[in-house]
Amino acid sequence: MRRIIRRIFYVLFAAFIVGFTIWGYTLTKSDSSSASLQTITIGYQAGDPISVSKARGQLVKEMKKKGYRVVFKEFQNGAAEMEAMSSGTIDFARTGDTPPITSIASGNKVTIVATGSSKAKGSGIVVNKNSSIKSIKDLKGKKIAYTSNTSSQYMVLKVLKKAGLTTSDVKLVDMSQSAAAVAFAKGKIDAWANWDPYTSQAELKYNGKMIVNGSDVNVNNRDYLLSGKYAGNHKSATKLLIKYLAKDMTWANTHKSALITMMSKELKLSKAIVARQVNRRSFAMHAVGSSQVAEEQAIADLFYQQGIIKKNIDVSKDVLDLK
């Protein structure tokens, strides 16, 4: 009886050794395969096209099949992304239309790789519903929060110009989005220039109303995919990235209900806030056209006139030709 038990023990032990060896080989092979992938690091902001692709997961799968490992890094705004890209921390960045202008003017290497759709209706200036500010002319003498080197700065300049005001007529406060959100909720500022999902949050969570949006002052706050030197040196990878991002954007436009549910979970925001953001914009990612270059040049020209940038730049020189 003991001999039979001993034999069973030896058989089971041998099976364990064989199984463990196979598992170790498979793990080593998997690690080796993972290690052979070329890493691409992409910067993004909450709720933007890259955020959608990250949450959906298809981009990572498709790029892995082609030999690339995609890593995502979240930033609060495009200015922070530009700093990270200039230091080599990220290979690509999804920003609005203004950060690349200030970064190029500062002497950084910025390559405009692709462009997306306008977020004009979700970008604007928000005030409290009970505020005495009813129109943009009422902004005179008021405290307006914005974030420098972002689309909110361009928004403020365009709105003031339309209202017949200058920066001297208002009190501009340069604040991060998180700090401005707290200040807005506590009534420490009179108005807040920003973009979705922050504007939707201000409207639905902080009793805010948008008195002007981008479509009123020709501020598109368009999505842009940017890179430093990486895109030009890795055109095959860049083309693949644009291709799969475009597929995700097509999915986003045709699956709004699923998108709202997915992004509500991803952003940890109510469905009402996400729905407002999603329903007042569309998604896209494609090659840069002449109209988008003109939009960027208009920002550069205004910033130069206002003394925000010290160098008059030609945006067309920084657009990547992937042909």
Please report the domains of the chain, with CATH numbers, ordered by start residue. Answer: 37-117+222-318 (3.40.190.10), 120-217 (3.40.190.10)
Cis bond upstream, residue 100 (ω within 30):
no
Reading the chain (323 residues) residue by residue, the pLDDT tens digits are 555 555 544 544 444 444 444 444 444 344 435 569 999 999 999 999 999 999 999 999 999 999 999 999 999 999 999 999 999 999 999 999 999 999 999 999 999 999 999 999 999 999 999 999 999 999 999 999 999 999 999 999 999 999 999 999 999 999 999 999 999 999 999 999 999 999 999 999 999 999 999 999 999 999 999 999 999 999 999 999 999 999 999 999 999 999 999 999 999 999 999 999 999 999 999 999 999 999 999 999 999 999 999 999 999 999 999 88
Which region holds residue 187: left if phi is over 0, alpha if psi is between -120 and 50, else beta?
left
Handedness of CA 306, 309, 315, 317 (dihedral sign): positive
pTM for the whole structure: 0.86
Question: Taking Cα atoms as reference points, which of 296, 253, 269 lies closest to residue 46?
Answer: 269
- The answer to whether the CB of 49 falls within 8 A of the CB of 245 is yes
Kind and range of the H or E run holding 65: helix 58-65
For 116, the 3-state DSSP assignment is: coil
Pairing of strands 171-174, 191-194: unpaired
CA distances from 268 to 94, 102, 177, 197, 275 (A): 21, 31, 17, 11, 13
Q: In what order do the strands lie in the sheet with 191-194?
A: 171-174, 143-146, 191-194, 124-128, 208-213
Question: What distance in Å separates the CA atoms of residue 225 and residue 240, rounded to the nearest whole number?
Answer: 13
Q: How many CB atoms neighbour CB 72 within 10 A?
A: 17
Chain-centroid distance, C-alpha 311: 26
Question: What distance in Å separates the CA atoms of residue 140 and residue 124, rounded to the nearest whole number?
Answer: 17
